[in-house]
Structure 1
Amino acid sequence: MTVSDNNLSTLALAIKAWGRELGFSDIGIADIDLRHAEAGLQAWLDAGFHGDMDYMAAHGMKRARPAELVPGTVRVITARMNYLPREGGEQWRETEAARAAEPGQAVVSIYARGRDYHKVLRARLQQLADRIRAEVGEFGYRVFTDSAPVMEEALAEKSGIGWRGKHTLLLSREAGSMFFLGELFTDLPLPVDPPEQSHCGQCRACIDVCPTQAILGPYRLDARRCISYLTIELKGSIPVELRPLIGNRVYGCDDCQLICPWNKFAQRSELPDFDVRNGLDDVSMLDLFAWEEEEFNRRLEGSPIRRIGHERWLRNLAIGLGNAAAQRRGDPAIVAALEARAGHPSELVREHVAWALARHR
């Protein structure tokens, strides 16, 4: 279908208004020229920094070429959605840091404490597409929510809703980095927004704070050392030399975000979807380690955590309980819990439990 330039400009403004009505904190529009990002992507892949995430390399340069990924695409509508839970104090960063210092506490990345963001964003981006269709008739589009080889940060930066921080996550002056990204690839030639400029300056707080030194330098992340990768993406054994550095982070890691000065502007979500479930903002590793597979699946239904499965959940918790030995070596409750899992059917679990028990002896 053909839409006049004036109507396209009006439509772009309407899309941004509809996006906010649907709970998105910002909407931007970018063209699809990502040639500037291709060299960096290829170098990252060639260095093997993607680890076991084979899907990162499987599509080659399609990640940087939206029109090859979805033929007919000429624009990408990018959407940002805040995920800090609705309830919480202003000193949330200090609270999170204090929790990480408690050896018995389980630290779950903030984004994963509520409902699976894939479902939330996909549903609302689909609603946005439906609004557009109601306005202009049938049009070509495809929704993405961290579900395909899309260069989200590069597109979001180009669309003006933020800039890529030195930790490689997107940053916003109005919202820090505590938000999700989603995209709507479309064949509508909408007017584009100006790109955002970097506002990191000389700051390197995120680089210096990383527990495993996964951020090798500005914009250079070795995922193989990143705690989020190790506890979520990695399917097998976590390298022995990295286990002590994980501490009590049992699912993901927020350290580079907690230290970032821009996150003093982080905004709370307007949606109940990201409210904390199962007390995951204040729970002991022993309580979580006691969950059998049925309870794990039942409690975490609709949660992103369920994606890793009970086996890797126990693997991560075993490492956390082993690291608790730094302050609570030989703790009877911890030792008993580990010994109860020492004969687990999974070799992966048995290996990590044995490592943890050795730390307590």
Structure 2
Amino acid sequence: MLPTGKEMVTNSPVLQYVNVLLATLGALFGFTLGPRLANTVSGAGKSLENTSATDKIAVGAGITLSIAITFFVYTLIVALKLPTPLFIGVFILLAFLVFYLCIIAMTSMKTELVTILSRGGPSPNADIKPENDATDNCKILDTNVIIDGRIADVCRSGFIEGTLYIPGFVLEELQHIADSSDSLKRARGRRGLDILNAMQKELPLVVRSWDKVLDKSAEREEVDSRLVKLAKALNGSIVTNDFNLNKVAVLQGVQVLNVNELANALKPVVLPGEVMRVLVVKDGKEPTQGVAYLDDGTMIVVEDGRKFMNETLFVVVTSVLQTVAGKMIFARVRTEEDEREETRSGSRNLGSNPPTQDGGAANYGGAGSGNYSRRGTGKKVR
């Protein structure tokens, strides 16, 4: 029996060569494009991991809606009984168009979408805003200001409004410091944890992790960079005493509350000619200089003060130097001529007040400190 036309085509040597050629080309394309395709898929997977939950929900809703609309379009095209080539072309074109429009529509209204799906529950920013607290006017504490400890007293005084937030990565850094093999770092870390525990009992302090706010890539960044990004996402302020973090945050438009700047602003103003009582605690750079300190840590360089080492004496301010690092006061030992001048000018005799022997920092205003007078006023300032 003679072979039919179909069998002749199937067993044709030309067709066999074509099949071999197509298989070879397919293998070449597979070896060439396979790794690139794998990298593309891997990159898409990483991008999907970094995508926020609201975006994932919006894209999923868009895909679902596009499938439903595409099925409806398919039934309409079938009803038109178009030729097969035209049918395939029109269907593919409309399917891509519907898919694109649905994705765009859902991502543009992701906020409303998540709110509807949650049935009036918390908005999609619930992963950003802490429960029962709004992030408006929130204050985000960094590691340095927690270890410093002064922020607790500032908050107790009521100078800082709003809720205090401790990001999870800041708490992790604090725990890492507390577990350090270095005894100094370990002490600082434990001090910070103790301060946090005390603040949490007395103040509206929230410890929360905002992993969903920041991208996965942010986990590899420094804590300062993550703090700035978090403050921008929450529209909050950073509370710190770190000079570099302060500058970086301000450059990126984030409000910063610097504890050091607050402390400098609250330091009493010292003018040349004023008299104060200080305790000389160490030698100065020059051979005759002595060094004393105020309660706030301000250095006082006393001319001819070395011979009064570990003694409390009265000095007269000669000049004040303000630098980026802080304030430095230069003074000289008060003489009998200064006392006579003060008596003639009507100022109170400071010599009637015996100096304290507490051996601590210099007494300057404040409770329990030594006396401090302004020249010519005759008033004692506490």
TM-score by length of 1: 0.21
TM-score by length of 2: 0.20
State the structure with more CA Rg: 2
